[in-house]
Structure 1
Amino acid sequence: MHITQALHRAVQQAPDLPATVFGERTRTWAECADRVARLAAALRALGVASGDRVGILALNSDRYHEYLLAVPWADAVLNPANVRWSAAEIAYSLADSGTRVLLVDDAFAPMLPALRAAHPELATVIHCGDGPTPAGVLAYEDLVAAHEPVEDAFRGGASLAGVFYTGGTTGSPKGVMLSHDNMIISALGTAANGSFMTPGGRTLHAAPMFHLADLAAWTARSLLGGTHVIVPAFDPTAVAAAVETHRTEDALLVPVMIQVLADSPVVQAADLSSMRRVLYGASPISEAVLDRAAKVMPTAEFTQAYGMTELSPVATLLDPADHAHPVRRRSAGRAAPHALVRIVDADDVEVPRGTVGEVVVRGDHVMLGYWNRPEETATALRGGWMHTGDGAYMDEDGYVFVVDRLKDMIVSGGENVYSAEVENALARHPAVASCAVIGVPDDEWGERVHAVVVLQPGAETSAEELREHTKTLIAGYKSPRSVEFVDALPVSGAGKILKRELRARYWADADRQVH
């Protein structure tokens, strides 16, 4: 299969149905197809060849939707940049993947000088915003208007669809390579569960479209037909207005977004009765938040998805009915229709039910590998199973209960934060002698990025100064939300920092070591 297959099917069956709604702008599937074919022609005219990476750095929009289709139409490869990253992180991902063509909108055009300085091979920039086009940048609408439509290259199957960058355990982002089959199988498998997507309905995109979670929702909605209702970024007022005005039925949200919606007076006063299905992921949701969310979206059913970018991204699903179960609601659900899930020991032998081990996943949704990282790929995919780095047990009915992370990662507000990235940034401050970064429980974010810092002899600094320092090197959401200064860090006989000791007092009363 190929990603553009959904567009061909929609044009054949419902050409006049709205494909996208963005602000005051609505475009049909027929209009979308024409614009996608013209944008693909423009990319080819700019020298984009088969397999070349084309990036985008933008907030959500209808043009983002067109980019996701036009790049494979032109036989090229997607590379959506994380809009929450710093210029240095984004430039690294562009340079590492060899991305030479980048689409950028009004919000991120000011970042261009820094990106070009850090990645001189960035040859072509296309402005895809609604404001004035910056000097030295091509205008998206001019390119669409100037080129005649070209035929679809029908890039698909096992060929590379996109390179999606995640945080890295060694401190630098790594590109996850996903094929067309990977993305489509995960989307269709999740939809086959029956609680994810309304066939032919209207899906709200409020979560960032660069993220695999929302991209899975975009893929499923495109394949099942219907309409994408898009807001630039998550905002409770914008979400309430979009649901009320366009009667959206489905949405992909992370728990912190659901909490904000549940507690917003604007949302509480809005009519959200059209909502039918809400899929959330990255972490469980508290019963209290779920109860409050049910009051503002009384007609919606909630489904939890567990997975990772490397799984395109879904591995397990917790159905709406399971949310009412006193035990199962604490789980990550059971294997999705397209996934095989096991819990294994250090020798990759499946452990007895109820025994904690590592979650491993197999299926046609598992990534092709990490871009230019064959050794890390071989380690992650050994034996044909994706090793998630999550510690969990499975009960007799197949429900997976995640209890710990075997890899040094924090999930805060639905975003993965690798401790090494934050520690590397902190260590570059002249006052820091050594440091360790851990995740601690947080009512709002699920987990909070917490830094434990030893200062150089005689040095002085503050938590705020360290936070601001790290924000110049890494994304703001990775910056420590709390900082603790100590005289020394606990270390093993081999000199390794004992993070479990640092975490112990924060997690002592918890029945598991993750949120």
Structure 2
Amino acid sequence: HRNLWLNAAVFGWQTGVDDRDVYLHTLPMFHCNGWGMPYAVTAMGGRHIVLRKVDGAEILRRIEQHGVTLLCGAPAVISTVLDAAVGWDGPIPGFGTMRIVVAGAPPPTQTIERVETELGWEFIQIYGLTETAPLLTMNRSRAEWDGDSPAERAVKLSRAGAPALGVTMSTSPDGELLTRTNHALKSYWEQPEATAEAMADGWFHTGDGAVIGDDNYATITDRKKDVIISGGENVSSIEVEDCLFSHPAVAEVAVIGVPDEKWGETIKALVVLRGDEPVDEQGLIDHCRAQLAHFKCPTSVEFRDELARTATGKLQKFKLRAPYWEGMEKQIN
């Protein structure tokens, strides 16, 4: 209970929640206590608007009807709103007054830029885990970025952010993000070995690869288990996905490693296309090769109608990888 209270207090404080806020529940309340926002908004006397299903047009309607000022969600929520905004009749609801808090996966920089330029909403990124109640970092546009272009701001906002109040961060020799905080778990229920591993040396081990810049902002490079090792080189699936998202035909993408006799693993992109934009496999591979080192580029692209996600909109990469690794002892080659 102490962890939940501290998380809600810090999250509400850093997001600037007050009694004028109207909060739209696009994030399920069962998911990590809605990141603590249900408690923070209630404590400050704000108003709650409940949404039973994530639907872009319905989100815009409720923002217009109820004067919503704040919502939280995964990048998939942003995508549904941006798609609905294209056909919206009239001014975009919440333009200049809405702020959206995003976590679950680093959104593409192009998506972040579109939140500012097309919706007129403030974009805030946070990072955390269930074990940390969850808030660890926040990235919100700073005064010194006011002179930047939306594209330049989007690059800065694509990072996980700086430590929240009471959080200390570091990285291990192999690049794993480590943290100490007032609201980390005490233990996993009846799992002493897992607890000892997660809390080794007095740090909580997040399982995420990261780099921490000179300004103390963390950038998540990948989940440790999602890093692709091709020909001995580590490839961040997040970096490749961001590149593919910059192609106008790409609506959704997941980049995974699949077995390869020569390279151990090779890079496959699973892509959902947007509307009628024409593109083929080689076109997307060439798009990446024009922007990334060639060893980071997909060697194959598979087109899908949809990608497996959780109830909160996170990609389930272990499910996407599984068919390609079937019959192998482990999902690394």
TM bracket (short chain): 0.5 to 0.7
Find the counterpart in structure 1 of residue 106 from structure 2. 284
Q: Give the CA deviation at 1:368.
A: 2.4
1:293 matches 2:115: yes
Which secondary structure does the structure 2 equivalent of 1:316 belong to?
strand
Deviations 1:423-453 (A, max 9, x none): xxxxxxxxxxxxxxx9984744553567769
Report the alpha carbon displacement of residue 273 of structure 1 after superposing the two structures with TM.
Answer: 2.6
2:72 maps to 252
- Equivalence map 1:350-499=2 (5 Å): 357-406=175-224, 408=225, 441=241, 443=245, 444-445=251-252, 447=254, 478=316, 480-481=319-320, 498-499=332-333
Normalising by structure 2, we get a TM-score of: 0.66
Structure 2 counterpart of 1:308: 129
User: What do the CA deviations read for 1:444-501 (whole angstroms, capped 9, x no partner)?
Assistant: 4553567769xxxxxxxxxxxxxxxx99xxx996484578768996xxxxx76535xx
TM-score by length of 1: 0.44
> Where in structure 2 are the equivalents of 1:212-361 lying within 5 Å?
212=32, 214-264=34-84, 265-267=86-88, 269=90, 271-273=92-94, 275-298=97-120, 300-321=121-142, 324-325=152-153, 328-345=156-173, 357-361=175-179
Tell me the C-alpha RMSD between the 2 structures: 3.8
Q: Percent identity?
A: 23
Shift of 1:205: 0.4
2:88 & 2:322 partners in 1: Cα distance? 34
Q: Residue 37 of structure 2: SS of its match in structure 1?
A: helix
The 1:307–1:238 alpha-carbon spacing in structure 2 relative to 1, beyond 3 Å, is: same
Offset, 1:395: 1.4
Kept in 1: contact 2:166–2:181 (CA 8 A): yes
Per the TM alignment, residue 201 of structure 1 is displaced from its structure 2 partner at its CA by: 1.3
Q: Which residue of 2 aligns with 1:457?
A: none
- In the alignment, the residues of structure 2 paired with residue 382 and residue 189 of structure 1 have an alpha-carbon distance, to the nearest angstrom, of 26
Q: Alpha-carbon deviation of 1:331?
A: 2.0
CA contact (8 A) 1:380 1:387 kept: yes
Q: 1:382 to 1:271 in 2, by over 3 A?
A: same
Which residues of structure 2 form unaligned runs of 5+?
A: 228-236, 246-250, 261-307
Q: Distance in 1 between matches of 2:162 and 2:44?
A: 23
Q: Which 5+ residue runs of structure 1 have no aligned equivalent?
A: 1-179, 347-356, 411-437, 454-469, 490-494, 500-515
8 Å contact from structure 1 (residues 277, 301) kept in 2: yes
CA distance in structure 2 between the partners assigned to 1:497 and 1:477 by the alignment: 17
Letter in 2 for 1:278: I
Deviations 1:360-383 (A, max 9, x none): 111121012222212111211223
Contact 1:196 1:277 in 2 (8 A): no
- Three-state SS of the structure 1 residue aligned to 2:54 is coil
Q: Give CA-to-partner distance per residue, 1:134-163, whole Å, 9 cap, x none.
A: xxxxxxxxxxxxxxxxxxxxxxxxxxxxxx
